Each structure stands twice: as structure tokens, then as C-alpha cells.
């Protein structure tokens, strides 16, 4: 059972369209990260959110952390082919091993 569920699992859209990826959990996290991963490479950190309700923008990407720190969303405006990749959310807890727990992943394909 995945602790963090992402939806959708796969998304294929046309260049210029908007999209939202959701990351949901029943657990509370002290922080949540979003990564993008290209095939055969390690994940690359996009953003970290730590405060409930926090919204961060990174150019055309908008990240939001839920008020209860159990969920997050990533919104991409005017998607471009260069946005194609695997998007992963990952949560960090204050207790235990303090390892990142990754979501199930969303594979995005942006067609030119």
C-alpha cells in the first residue's frame, strides 16, 4: 500500500494545456517535496513546502501544501514538451527514520 497516492498516474496532453497533479495521504508530513525524474537519472528536487496552506511558484509551476499537511498539488500552466517526465511527491515525517516516502508517481507526456 502506497502511503502517498498520486493522481493521475499518467497524463498525455498537448503543448499549451494546463494540468494539475495531486498527492494525497492520510498521514501528516512535516514537509513535502516535489521531484521530476528523467529516465535513467536520479530525481531532481523542484520545491519543498513546509507550512500548511503554503503556495510556492516556480515559473509555470505552482505548488500547494494542504492546510492539514496531508496533501499537495502541482499545477503546470501552459505545459511545454520540456515538462515531460515523471513527477514524484515525497513526504518527510518528523519522527522515525526521517526518510522520504515517495508517492506513486505521475508520468506526464506533453505533445508538441
Partner 1 sequence: GAVVSQHPSWVICKSGTSVKIECRSLDFQATTMFWYRQFPKQSLMLMATSNEGSKATYEQGVEKDKFLINHASLTLSTLTVTSAHPEDSSFYICSARGLQQGAGNTIYFGEGSWLTVV
Where on the chain is the footprint of partner 1 (CB under 8 A)?
Answer: 2, 33, 35, 40-45, 48, 88, 90, 92, 97-105, 107
Ordered DSSP codes for 35-93: EEE-TTS--EEEEEE-STT-EEEETTEEEEE-TTSSEEEEEESS--GGG-EEEEEEEE-
Q: Which is nearer to partner 1, 67 or 87 (CB)?
A: 87
Query: Least separation, in Å, of the C-beta of 78 and partner 1?
Result: 27
Residue (41 or 67) nearer to partner 1, CB: 41
Nearest approach, Cβ of residue 29 and partner 1 (Å) = 13
Amino acid at each position: 500500500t502506497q502511503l502517498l497516492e498520486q493522481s493521475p498516474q499518467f497524463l498525455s496532453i498537448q503543448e499549451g494545456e494546463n494540468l494539475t497533479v495531486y498527492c494525497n495521504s492520510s498521514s501528516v508530513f512535516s514537509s513535502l517535496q516535489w521531484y521530476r525524474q528523467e529516465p535513467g537519472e536520479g530525481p531532481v528536487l523542484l520545491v519543498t513546502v513546509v507550512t500548511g496552506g503554503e503556495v510556492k511558484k516556480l515559473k509555470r509551476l505552482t505548488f500547494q501544501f494542504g492546510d492539514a499537511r496531508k496533501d499537495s498539488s502541482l499545477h503546470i500552466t501552459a505545459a511545454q514538451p520540456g515538462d515531460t517526465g515523471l513527477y514524484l511527491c515525497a513526504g518527510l515525517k518528523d519522527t522515525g527514520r526521517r526518510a522520504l516516502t515517495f508517492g506513486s508517481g505521475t508520468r506526464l507526456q506533453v505533445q508538441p
